[in-house]
Every structure is written in C-alpha cells, then in structure tokens.
Amino acid sequence: MASGKCLCEAVRFSIEVEPRLFYRCHCTLCRKQTGVGHNLATLVHARDFRWEEGQPVISSWHKPSGYRNDFCSRCGSTVPNALRESDYFWIPLGLLDVELNMECVGDFCTDDAMPWDEQRSANSHHAAPDSLEFLLQALQVNRFR
C-alpha cells in the first residue's frame, strides 16, 4: 500500500497496490501542468484507490478535448483524478509519500518535447497513446490484482 498527499497536506489518498511502472508525457499540456518538461504518472484501478481526506478542496479545470487537471484549491498541487470514462485513477508520482522502485514504460508526445528535456526511455512515442487500452497494457495495470 502507498499513500500520497498534496503540498499543504489537505488532500490525502491511498492506493492498495505498489505501482512498479510509470510513464512520462512531454505534451504541451503536461509541461504547463507541471511547470517542467514532462509529467510522471501511473494509473491505478479505482478499486485500489481511496480518498483519505480533502475532496471538498479539490478544484478541476477541463479542456473541451477531455484533458483535465484536478488540483488542491489551497496549495495548487495537481492531485489524482478519475481518468475520463474509465475505472482508473491517474496518479502523479510526485505526490506519493513512499520511495518506490519503479520503471518507466515509455515516453509519450516526444514530438512536443523541448530540446532541453532530453531524458527518454527505450520505448518512446512521438504522439500520445492511441487509446487508454494501449496505456493500460503498457503499465500492466491489471497485473497488480
């Protein structure tokens, strides 16, 4: 089990699995969301995710395309969110409280990457995943249960 929280610790959550795999996304939206060259995230099945506290202080911003950023309205930290119309939660790795031994399964949207953002995995993709199923398979999400 792992737990995580936002910067001010108002939003807290736990997950019943220890993620072993993550991905990096270099798209423009992820860069602006994080303030760095990419985001680092994993997906967790909803049955393995639990809000511990702070849901009332979570705000959400949406683009018509479906992109969503949920964040703590007190400190501004991006927080997990339900992944569109699926049974999964998107988890930003920087919120996790424990040090996990994780492996990057791929870099996405590398065509959008800035020249100063050079770190790549052996499995790089120029665009976003074709589907949620592709990303779930890459992360081997279902192998945790």
Residue 119 has pLDDT above 80, yes or no: no
* Structure tokens, 20: 């072993």
What is the average pLDDT value for the chain, to the nearest integer? 87
- The string of pLDDT tens digits covering residues 52-78 is 999 999 999 999 988 899 999 999 999
Number of domains in the chain: 1
- The string of pLDDT tens digits covering residues 15-37 is 999 999 999 898 889 898 988 88
Residue 13 has pLDDT above 70, yes or no: yes
Strands (E) in the chain, as ranges, are 2-5, 12-15, 21-25, 39-45, 49-53, 58-62, 68-72, 81-82, 88-92, 103-108
pLDDT for residue 145: 46
Q: Which domain holds residue 25?
A: 2-144
Domain with 22 in it: what CATH number?
2.170.150.70
